[in-house]
């Protein structure tokens, strides 16, 4: 009845379960990563929902807006989703006229996903909302710490070596 998506900031300082922080799991990086991610994800989903999006569709839209003209296969590989899930995501965005499928000139089997003008507009406002809501969560860290965290996560996430600011 109170689930991950709900009442995060509103929680009144969780009663008796707080003592479980004395447990060994909380010294486990994977556990903390999962927990931090759950909080961040819930926040991001709530923010994206304001614009009729979920993090998944928001992310696909963000990539479409970037003008990298990814094929669905590339999206699947990059987001580590099955190609069939990309179909559903692109279907949904396309039905709302936020993206278009264009035939890849160099391979007639492949579709390239591009944002429409409306998609760009939606992304712009969604991005503002999402970024804003994340600031609230990552405010637990200083600007310098956030930079350090990003650099570490990039390595854990398997990003290629170039740093990018």
Partner DNA sequence: TATTGTTATACTCTATAACTATA
Partner DNA sequence: TATAGTTATAGAGTATAACAATA
CA distances from 110 to 5, 38, 71, 103, 115 (A): 36, 34, 6, 6, 17
Residue 118 binds which of a second copy, DNA, none (CB < 5-8 A, kind-dependent): none
Q: How many C-beta atoms surround the C-beta of residue 20 within 10 A?
A: 10
Residue carrying structure tokens 């993090």: 55
Q: Which of 123, 73, 72 is nearest to 97 (CA)?
A: 123
125 forms part of the interface with a second copy (CB under 8 A): no
Residue 53 near DNA by CB under 7 A: no
Rounded Cα distance between 120 and 45, Å, is: 19
Q: Is residue 16 part of the contact set for a second copy (CB under 8 A)? A: yes
Q: Is 72 in the site for a second copy (CB under 8 A)?
A: no
102 near DNA (CB under 7 A): no
**Does position 155 bind a second copy by CB under 8 A?**
yes
With CB under 5 to 8 Å by kind, the binding choice for 128 among DNA, a second copy, none is none
Contact footprint for DNA (CB under 7 A): 1, 3-6, 54, 56, 71-73, 76, 81-87, 90-91, 101, 104, 107-112
């Amino acid at each position: 009845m109170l689930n991950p998506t709900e009442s995060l900031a509103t929680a009144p300082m969780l009663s008796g379960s707080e003592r479980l922080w004395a447990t060994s799991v909380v010294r486990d990086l994977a556990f903390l990563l999962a927990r931090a991610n759950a909080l961040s994800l819930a926040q991001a989903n709530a923010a994206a929902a304001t614009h009729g999006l979920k993090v998944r569709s928001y992310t696909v839209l963000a990539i479409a807006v970037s003008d990298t003209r990814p094929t669905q296969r590339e999206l699947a590989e990059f987001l580590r989703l099955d190609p069939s899930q990309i179909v559903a995501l692109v279907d949904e965005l396309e039905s709302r006229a936020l993206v278009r499928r264009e035939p890849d000139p160099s391979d007639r089997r492949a579709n390239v996903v591009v944002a429409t003008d409306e998609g760009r507009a939606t992304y712009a406002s969604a991005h503002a909302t999402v970024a804003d809501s994340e600031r609230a969560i990552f405010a637990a860290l200083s600007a310098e710490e956030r930079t350090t965290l990003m650099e570490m996560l990039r390595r854990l996430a398997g990003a290629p070596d170039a740093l990018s600011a």
